[in-house]
A = this chain, B = another copy of it.
Amino acid sequence: MTEILPNFIKNRALLTPDREAIVFNKESLTFKELYEKAYYRAGLLTAFGVKDTDYVGFLIKSDLETVLHLFAMQIIGAKAVLLNNRLTANEMTFQLTDANATFLITEDHFQETARQLAEELKISVYYKEGIEDRSYIEPIEKEQFSLADTCTIMYTSGTTGLPKGVIQSYGNHWWSAIGNTLNAGLYEKETWLCAVPLFHISGFSILMRSVIYGMKIVLHDGFNEHKVLQDIREERVTIVSVVTTMLERIEQATNEKFPAYFRYMLLGGGPATVELITRCINKGIRVYYSYGMTETSSQIVTLSPEDSIRKIGSAGKALFPAQLKIVNDLGEVLGPNEVGEIKVCGPNVSQGYLNKENHLKDGWFFTGDIGYIDSEGFLYVLDRRSDLIISGGENVYPAEVEAVLSEMEGIKEAAVIGIPDNQWGQVPVAFVVVDGSVLSEKSIMKNCEKSLAKYKIPKRVFFVSELPRNASGKIVRRNLREWVEEQKDF
């Protein structure tokens, strides 16, 4: 029997009304205020026509008004389709169409894109600004959730290149939050700083933890290491979610020891070097390295407090409610230190993609990532989805970029790999085989802008006569990587 739980935000406001819930640009709300303001916005959305069965696109930045509208969705039980705001209009069109979204909630900043989407999709656009002029109808509040109810949709591309809408239920978010607590504890006056995007699971999961734990969030509208360091002291922050590039910049920006109440950096979104983690430890910054993805509703494997130094470089062990195994190509479970594909299961794992057949095998999700588990049970991730590129915390799927390149006039075929980059961790570069036309690196990059978010556009394009392929015709990306490494002047 799927569990029924009281509506998270409503219940939290009932339990700890006067506790501080969120701070954004010095504006602070208690849980009671957060709930009441979200409830009011639920009324505005209701008057706008949004019902519990609707899928509603969110094209937003991180601010208080966004948070209030996201919780308003939960009050009426409507489903939020969170768009990465760095995508192109074409990419968004695909996702909103696939999700059959009937509304788009956005803000003035994205007016131009929103107008384009409205025209193409016949979707109603609601602007966060000017809410005082909107009409209000008492919302039909969801008193409780079944944990199987859909809460959010976030798109990932996977190896096929075509974005798939990950269905995240209230239960997925709930169990993710509980798994985190059982690993890292939950302190009185816990305060989590969110400088990662709310449209990512990294940011959105902090919102969910806030109402489940009764925990204060310090929300930033973007990442600035100096502002992070300042708020750690001024707002007594205990936890910060970071990706490698953010951690690097925070570590570089300070020489002071962190205050004793600061608990840890939750590091996700791709590998960090042992060297960086060591530097952090030397400055008294505890780092919990973790492994997770949109399909696992945030971290699923995290290093425990007591192992964070001894097992440096490992992603840790599965969170309590989850399970983890390494399998070979035949699906057979491998032993300690044997390298294979990482498969995971647990109540935080998404049960499926929108409009797709069930992708789980006996409840297990095959991540496509490569790694091994040592004799003590610690996971080491060697390669994310074999060819996944993580650039500044964003996922770039080679297959998606390759598809765009291959469709360009004059290009016969293309391959994309990630190469190390000091600023972004990794950046994509492309190898193309032309059909005889005359093409320039610049014109190809320019051409990509229509279809690809900026972070997905190759930073370099190399022209080659053919792509290295193995016997079965698959591109051998390893060879391309080696070739790039050999280019001294790159």
- The copy count of this chain in the complex is 2
| Chain B CB within 8 A of A148 CB | yes
Cα A50 to Cα B171 in complex, Å, equals 35
Chain A interface residue count, Cβ-Cβ cutoff 8 angstroms: 42
> Nearest 5 CB-CB pairs, A to B?
A3-B347, A185-B186, A186-B186, A15-B317, A14-B377
Instruction: Looking at the assembled complex, report how far the CB atom of A173 sits from the nearest CB atom of chain B, in whole angstroms.
Output: 14
CB < 8 Å: which of B148, B178, B187 contacts A1?
B148
Cα A4 to Cα B186 in complex, Å, equals 24
Would A15 and B185 count as touching, CB distance under 8 A? no
Instruction: Looking at the assembled complex, report how far the CB atom of A456 sits from the nearest CB atom of chain B, in whole angstroms.
Output: 36
Cβ contacts A to B, 23 pairs, < 8 Å: A1-B2, A2-B2, A3-B3, A3-B171, A3-B321, A5-B320, A5-B321, A5-B347, A6-B323, A11-B320, A14-B377, A15-B317, A15-B320, A15-B377, A181-B181, A181-B182, A181-B186, A182-B212, A185-B186, A185-B187, A186-B186, A187-B187, A188-B305
For A171, what are the chain B residues with a Cβ–Cβ distance below 8 Å?
A: 3
Cα A321 to Cα B146 in complex, Å, equals 12
| Chain B CB within 8 A of A18 CB | yes
For A305, what are the chain B residues with a Cβ–Cβ distance below 8 Å?
A: 188
Cα A353 to Cα B178 in complex, Å, equals 29
Would A306 and B182 count as touching, CB distance under 8 A? no
For A377, what are the chain B residues with a Cβ–Cβ distance below 8 Å?
A: 14-15
For A6, what are the chain B residues with a Cβ–Cβ distance below 8 Å?
A: 320-321, 323
Cα A283 to Cα B122 in complex, Å, equals 67
- Most chain B C-beta atoms within 10 Å of own C-beta, residue among A11, A144, A175, A376: A11
Chain A stretch 164-200: residues in CB contact (< 8 A) with chain B: 171, 175, 178, 181-182, 185-188, 190
Chain A stretch 360-382: residues in CB contact (< 8 A) with chain B: 363, 376-377
Would A14 and B148 count as touching, CB distance under 8 A? no
| Chain B CB within 8 A of A128 CB | no
Given contacts A186-B181, A212-B320, contact A16 B363 (CB under 8 A): no
CB < 8 Å: which of B19, B186, B304 contacts A306?
B19
| Chain B CB within 8 A of A463 CB | no
- Most chain B C-beta atoms within 10 Å of own C-beta, residue among A3, A17, A144, A317: A3
Chain A stretch 1-37: residues in CB contact (< 8 A) with chain B: 1-6, 11-12, 14-19
Smallest Cβ-Cβ distance to A321: which chain B residue: B5
Instruction: Looking at the assembled complex, report how far the CB atom of A116 sits from the nearest CB atom of chain B, in whole angstroms.
Output: 40
Cα A12 to Cα B188 in complex, Å, equals 24
| Chain B CB within 8 A of A77 CB | no
Cα A305 to Cα B189 in complex, Å, equals 11
Smallest Cβ-Cβ distance to A143: which chain B residue: B323
| Chain B CB within 8 A of A458 CB | no
| Chain B CB within 8 A of A214 CB | yes
For A376, what are the chain B residues with a Cβ–Cβ distance below 8 Å?
A: 17
Smallest Cβ-Cβ distance to A190: which chain B residue: B185
Cα A304 to Cα B15 in complex, Å, equals 8
| Chain B CB within 8 A of A48 CB | no
Would B185 and A185 count as touching, CB distance under 8 A? yes
Please name 10 further chain A to chain B contacts, defined as beta carbons within 8 Å, in addition to the given A3-B175, A181-B186, sorted by A numbering.
Answer: A1-B148, A3-B171, A4-B345, A6-B320, A11-B320, A15-B304, A16-B306, A181-B181, A182-B212, A182-B213
Cα A6 to Cα B347 in complex, Å, equals 11
CB < 8 Å: which of B181, B213, B363 contacts A4?
B363
Chain A stretch 318-353: residues in CB contact (< 8 A) with chain B: 318, 320-321, 323, 345, 347
1/0 per position for A271-305, CB-CB distance to B under 8 A?
Answer: 00000000000000000000000000000000011
For A16, what are the chain B residues with a Cβ–Cβ distance below 8 Å?
A: 304, 306
Cα A323 to Cα B182 in complex, Å, equals 23
For A148, what are the chain B residues with a Cβ–Cβ distance below 8 Å?
A: 1
Smallest Cβ-Cβ distance to A214: which chain B residue: B182
Cα A6 to Cα B377 in complex, Å, equals 15
- Most chain B C-beta atoms within 10 Å of own C-beta, residue among A12, A181, A305, A320: A320
For A5, what are the chain B residues with a Cβ–Cβ distance below 8 Å?
A: 320-321, 347
